[in-house]
Amino acid sequence: MPIQFLGIAATHDGSETTPRSGPSFDKDYTLRLGRAHEDWGWDRVLFAYGSGSPEPSAAAAFLLSRTERLQVLLAHRPNVSYPTFAAKTFATLDRIGDGRLAVHFITGGTDAEQQREGDYLTKDERYRRTREYIQVVKKAWTSHEAFDWDGEFYRFADFVSDTFPVQQPRPDVSFGGSSDAAYAAGGAEADVFALWGEPLAETAAQIDRVHAAARAAGRTDLPRIQVAFRPIIAPTEELAWEKAHRTVERIEARTAGGRQPLTRRHPLTAPENTGSQRLLAIAERGERFDRALWTPTARATGGAGNSNALVGTPETVAQALLDYVDLGVDIISMRGYDLLGDAIDVGRYVLPLVREGVAKRDAAAAARRDAPEPQPASA
CA distance 93 to 184: 28
By C-alpha distance, which of 66, 65, 46 is closest to 56?
46
Most distant CA atoms of the chain, gap in Å:
82
Look at residue 291 and tell me if it is in a domain.
no
Domain count, the chain: 1
Look at residue 269 and tell me if it is in a domain.
no
Residue 259: predicted pLDDT: 46
By C-alpha distance, which of 199, 189, 223 is closest to 209?
223
Look at residue 245 and tell me if it is in a domain.
no
Measured CA to CA in angstroms, residue 149 lies from 1, 58, 80, 137 at distances of 37, 28, 19, 12
Residue 262: predicted pLDDT: 54
Q: What is the pLDDT along the chain (379 residues), one digit of tens a residue?
A: 689 999 999 999 999 999 999 999 999 999 999 999 999 999 999 999 999 999 999 999 999 999 999 999 999 999 999 999 999 999 999 999 999 999 999 999 889 999 999 999 999 999 999 999 999 999 999 999 999 999 999 999 999 999 999 999 999 999 999 999 999 999 999 999 999 999 999 999 999 999 999 999 999 999 999 999 999 999 999 999 999 999 999 999 987 754 445 554 334 567 888 999 999 999 999 999 999 999 999 999 999 889 999 999 999 999 999 999 999 999 999 999 999 999 999 999 999 999 999 999 999 988 988 888 777 766 5
Look at residue 147 and tell me if it is in a domain.
yes
Look at residue 35 and tell me if it is in a domain.
yes
- Find the domain containing 48 and state its range: 4-229+313-363
Look at residue 261 and tell me if it is in a domain.
no
Residue 271: predicted pLDDT: 82
Look at residue 219 and tell me if it is in a domain.
yes
Q: What global pTM score does this model have?
A: 0.94
CA distance 171 to 100: 8
Look at residue 23 and tell me if it is in a domain.
yes
Within 13 Å, how many C-alpha atoms sit on residue 134's CB side? 25
* Displacement of CA 15 from its chain's centroid (Å): 17
Burial string for 97-127 (b: 16+ CB within 10 Å, else e) reads beebbbbbbbbbbeeebbeeeebebebeebb
- CATH number, domain with residue 22: 3.20.20.30
CB 92 within 8 A of CB 58: no
